[in-house]
Structure 1
Amino acid sequence: MKPDLSALVAAIRAQPWAIVPEYLDAIEAIAARALDDDVLAKVSADGHEAMMAASRAAVAAVGRRLEGAQVSTLRGATAVIPVVGTIFPRASMVGASTGGTALSTIMHDMRVAWANDDVERVVMLVDSPGGVVSGLGEAAEALRAAPKPITAFVTGMGASAAYWLASQAGEIVLDRSARVGSIGVVASMSRQEGPDSNGRRAYEVVSSGAPMKRPDPATEEGRAAIQEELDAIEAVFVADVAAGRGVSATRVRADFGQGAMKTAAAAIEAGMANRIGTLEGELSKHPGQTRATRAGGRARASADLETRRRAAERN
């Protein structure tokens, strides 16, 4: 790998991600221009690239451009804000090359929608494998305190960082083929064991008082330090999902997939989402039909789940 590409991959690996692991591998491969990498074929094979392209086309076809927004549209009194592709903190070369969305763009358009008197509600159109952790906690707090109703509609994949954001909406509606989950944090890293392809060997030395600045995953101490950091971030993730869905953190850890993805029906059964629907159905709603409060909507969802559980126990 060329030195400049090695630095780019190292930068990708320098931060924790809330993403489906295969997609992190693909981002690294794309960044390194390893276009023949097996992981790219694996990601392409699930058909998700075509689905995300369709999601972007759907947003573009909805209504007119929301004035002042960067990527969002307006249909009637509903603002449609896309959360499509890998989520990066801000616009970047890697984000553009992987068809990603900047968190800064999502939140900019959210604030534009909240400030626009013509907008009465927001629909987040979600189709994303997740992304970088940075900034997600602050964004989640802002979404929970939104001054206007938000519905998250998941058309394909609402994974990891994308579910982190979607879970803050007053209601989560799933396409019948959608999947949500992958709650957890992953870090990718490597240690050079021999000369690189250019005949050079990379060395890294840290100051004596900062041995944990670059924890060595090859040692038990290094792995423990890395694990501690990831678990701390996961705790914030879980707490935000719990607050967004109106359930306990214990419930999220036990019933929300434990890092796995859940299909639409299973996600609704677990309380991760509210119901199955269609994008057109959501956009065709009159704003008055969505004025149920966040607490009220979630209370009904919790009551429905409890009713199903009691029925299952009786059977």
Structure 2
Amino acid sequence: MLAAIRSQPWAIMPGYLEAIEAIALRVLDDPAVLALSGDGHAGRQISAVAQMGARAASTRTAMLRDGVGMLPLMGPVFPRANIMTEFSGASSLDVAAADLRALQASPDVKNILMVIDSPGGAVAQVNDFARMVAASPKPVSVHVTGLCCSAAYWIGSSAAGGMSLDPTGVVGSIGVMISTSYQVEPDANGRRDLDLTSSNAPNKRPDLSTEEGQAQIRQMLDAIEDVFIANVAQGRGVTEAVVRREFGAGGTLTGKAAKAAGMVDRIEPDGLDGAIRRLAKSGPATPRRTAAANTLTLAQARAGL
């Protein structure tokens, strides 16, 4: 299981990747696991689910309240259902995609709200799901109850209906990393663990080594990061240069700072309940970024793009 985890790139907050590795090894008293067990995410998620109403028809996880169909994206994100999604509070993109289609088809759903509290996850299928969210015939809005980081922000920033944030919500951690190891001694115990990050995310992980042999792996991470940043820029209606410069460089922003940087559209003083009530009172959602798109077009014209 550890080999499978380390064979792929991740867009996730580093502490969560350490915890996933520890859980895979069944080292449940690892400091990374203990740190996350007390970070309040379980209570936030229980509170969020309690506000979402009843289970939406023909879905596994989606909820329905006052014409607002809610699609939760909670915990680490994986491409497919697995033991983590079934028993450890993680989310799978295959289930989320099926539930999104059901909400799109339901006559009872006037607006769709994705409710996110996720540190990110595996890169596989994230771009495909983000494109599905962006192209939804019923525009998807996003509300962040806790974390919307890395792969989760990749997905959330693509939502055409805009993003709202709890006053203490956290967004960002844009960048890609891989956890790996290399041989330093001849026996099986002589391996050194190493985490590498993509070049635009210096704050995502302290630089553990500067050996030139890591450049080849970093090239792969940078290529994925380029797609990540391009999607965020398109979704938020800004240039890629703005994302690289203003969106945390792999770090995170909270509340008003995230709104000031343009990473979200509004701070919701009443949290998730306020976001649901606002959408329930409104007509069918329409894409929100006309002004932002115009600003982007002007910036690109000035840059000669």
- TM-score in terms of structure 1 length: 0.81
Candidates 282, 286, 289, aligned match of 1:298: 289
- 1:8-157 equivalence runs, <5 A: 8-45=1-38, 47=39, 50-157=40-147
Partner of 1:279: 272
Candidates 195, 212, 235, aligned match of 1:244: 235
Distance in 2 (CA, whole Å) between partners of 1:194 and 1:56 is: 49
Distance in 1 (CA, whole Å) between partners of 2:75 and 2:115 is: 11
1:20-64 deviation per Cα after TM superposition (whole angstroms, max 9, x unaligned)? 01110010001101122222233345x1xx334432453255222
Distance in 1 (CA, whole Å) between partners of 2:157 and 2:278 is: 21
Report the secondary structure of 2:171's partner residue.
strand
Distance in 2 (CA, whole Å) between partners of 1:97 and 1:57 is: 19
Figure out how many residues of one structure are paired with residues of the other and give that number: 275
| Corresponding position: 1:174 with 2:180 | no
Structure 1 range deviating more: 257-266 or 34-43: 34-43
Structure 1 range deviating more: 117-126 or 188-197: 188-197
The 1:154–1:218 alpha-carbon spacing in structure 2 relative to 1, beyond 3 Å, is: closer
Distance in 2 (CA, whole Å) between partners of 1:299 and 1:251 is: 18
Distance in 2 (CA, whole Å) between partners of 1:289 and 1:86 is: 31
- 1:199-218 equivalence runs, <5 A: none
Q: Can you give the 5+ residue segments of structure 2 that lack an aligned partner in the other structure?
A: 192-207, 296-305
The 1:36–1:195 alpha-carbon spacing in structure 2 relative to 1, beyond 3 Å, is: farther
Distance in 2 (CA, whole Å) between partners of 1:293 and 1:76 is: 18
1:120 is displaced (CA, Å) by: 1.2
Instruction: Report which of the two has the higher share of helix.
Output: 1
Q: Can you give the 5+ residue segments of structure 1 that lack an aligned partner in the other structure?
A: 1-7, 203-216, 305-315
**Are 1:120 and 1:149, in contact at CA under 8 Å, matched by a contact in 2?**
no
Report the secondary structure of 2:16's partner residue.
helix
Report the secondary structure of 2:124's partner residue.
coil
Partner of 1:229: 220
**Are 2:111 and 2:285, in contact at CA under 8 Å, matched by a contact in 1?**
no
1:87 is displaced (CA, Å) by: 0.2
The 1:74–1:235 alpha-carbon spacing in structure 2 relative to 1, beyond 3 Å, is: same
Structure 1 range deviating more: 186-195 or 21-30: 186-195
Partner of 1:205: none
1:84-104 deviation per Cα after TM superposition (whole angstroms, max 9, x unaligned)? 000000111234343211011
Distance in 2 (CA, whole Å) between partners of 1:220 and 1:156 is: 37
| Corresponding position: 1:270 with 2:261 | yes
How many percent of aligned residue pairs carry the same amino acid? 43
**Are 2:238 and 2:292, in contact at CA under 8 Å, matched by a contact in 1?**
no
**Are 2:51 and 2:273, in contact at CA under 8 Å, matched by a contact in 1?**
no
- TM-score in terms of structure 2 length: 0.83
Moved over 6 A (4+): 301-304
Aligned-partner residue type, residue 219 of structure 2: E
**Are 1:31 and 1:94, in contact at CA under 8 Å, matched by a contact in 2?**
no
**Are 1:60 and 1:73, in contact at CA under 8 Å, matched by a contact in 2?**
no
